[in-house]
Amino acid sequence: MPRSLSCSRSIHSGAAGLLTLLAAGTFTGEGPAADPPRKQLVLPGEVFEVVGKTAFLLTPAADAAVPADSKPWILYSPTLAAYPDSAERWMHEQFIKAGVAVAGIDTGESYGSPAGVAAAEALHAEMVRRGYAKQPALLGRSRGGLWASAWAIAHPELTAGLGGIYPVYDWRTYPGLAKAAAAYELSPADLAAKAAELCPIERIDAAAKAAVPVCIIHGDDDKVVPLEPNSLRLKRAYEAAGKGELVTLIVAEGQGHNFWEGFFRCQELVDFLIARAKAGR
């Protein structure tokens, strides 16, 4: 059963309003950018371009001394203009202090679509070229869960672990068929008809069968990304595949889709991602 994390026992109890994580983005083609890529980073790092899209890399100080092909890293999503944001600063500081880099590529509102996965593949190839491990850990926050799970399904052999902060795994719950369909270049009706092959939650058994470990924190009062059809359904899919022991689902009691500090200072999730990233070496 999922473990509950009571508000009264956790780091902070107040919510700071609905997440601005739902701000709009744009998913464009792969043409070259007219200007050098720009992005405000929460920690020192590098902003660069991959297949015409803006990518970022937060690098540990000792990173250069790590042998090639063994540098641990986390593939983060969603990478939009505002993310990662300041709410996540502590979490990313822990990754960097542990010697784990963090990287992501801005594919706009791609919602786990094949085009979004293709862009992540290009970033992955660039990271490997730079001496990073072939198996990153994945972290998907909110709709970033669609990006992260789509990668884990497409490339379980290149996934050291899957982490999530109130993640979306079913685009029918968020952003809904109409908005997701545009990213998949389909009509809403056609996307609905192809849910079995295109919706991450319908295909998550691929990650389960490949024994990809998972750690998620999700509020039980989340009205934007409901717990039941997303994180809880993932756990049940793993259980149905006989891999339930690979999923740690931390339920934050009374919490919704917000800036509650406990989501971003969840030591268990941070430790999981660090350990899995290092295992991916």
Q: Whose CA is closest to 219, among 257, 167, 174? A: 257
Query: Residue range 117-137: average pLDDT?
Result: 97
pLDDT of residue 81: 87
Query: Over the stretch 267-280, which tens digit does the pLDDT of each residue have?
Result: 999 999 999 999 99
Cα distances from 210 to residues 135, 154, 242, 244, 245, in angstroms, run 13, 11, 11, 13, 13
What is the DSSP secondary-structure string of 204-252? Answer: THHHHHTT--EEEEEETT-SSS-TIIIIIHHHHHHHHTT-GGGEEEEEE
Domain ranges of the chain: 3-279
pLDDT of residue 70: 84
Given a cut of 50, whether residue 27 has pLDDT beyond it is no
Position 34 confidence tier, pLDDT thresholds 50, 70, 90 = low
Dihedral sign for Cα atoms in the order 120, 122, 125, 126:
negative
pLDDT of residue 62: 78
Query: Over the stretch 71-99, which tens digit does the pLDDT of each residue have?
Result: 999 999 999 988 999 999 999 999 999 99
Question: What topology is assigned to 3-279 in CATH?
Answer: Rossmann fold (3.40.50)
Given a cut of 70, whether residue 254 has pLDDT beyond it is yes
pLDDT of residue 2: 59
Number of neighbouring beta carbons within 10 Å of residue 242: 10
Distance between CA atoms of 97 and 120, rounded to whole angstroms?
25
Contact 75, 104 (CB under 8 A): yes
Query: Over the stretch 92-121, which tens digit does the pLDDT of each residue have?
Result: 999 999 999 999 999 999 999 999 999 999
Contact 28, 108 (CB under 8 A): yes
What is the DSSP secondary-structure string of 50-116? Answer: ETTEEEEEE--TTGGGSPTT-B-EEEEE---TT-S-GGGHHHHHHHHHTT-EEEEE---S-TT-HHH
Residue type, 124: H
pTM of the model: 0.87
User: Which residue in the block uniquely carries the two structure tokens 């491990």?
Assistant: 133
Mean of the per-residue pLDDT values for the chain?
A: 89
- Percent with pLDDT over 70 in the chain: 87
Query: Over the stretch 217-239, which tens digit does the pLDDT of each residue have?
Result: 999 999 999 999 999 999 999 99
Query: Over the stretch 133-171, which tens digit does the pLDDT of each residue have?
Result: 999 999 999 999 999 999 999 999 999 999 999 999 999
Given a cut of 70, whether residue 33 has pLDDT beyond it is no
Strand-pair partners of 219: 252
Q: What tokens appear for 275 in the block?
A: 């350990």
pLDDT of residue 69: 72
Exposure string for 25-49, b = 16+ CB within 10 A, e = fewer: bebeeeeeeeeeeebeebeebeebe
Question: For the purposes of burial, counting CB atoms within 10 Å of the CB of 129, is it exposed (0-12), middle (13-18) or buried (19 or more)?
Answer: exposed
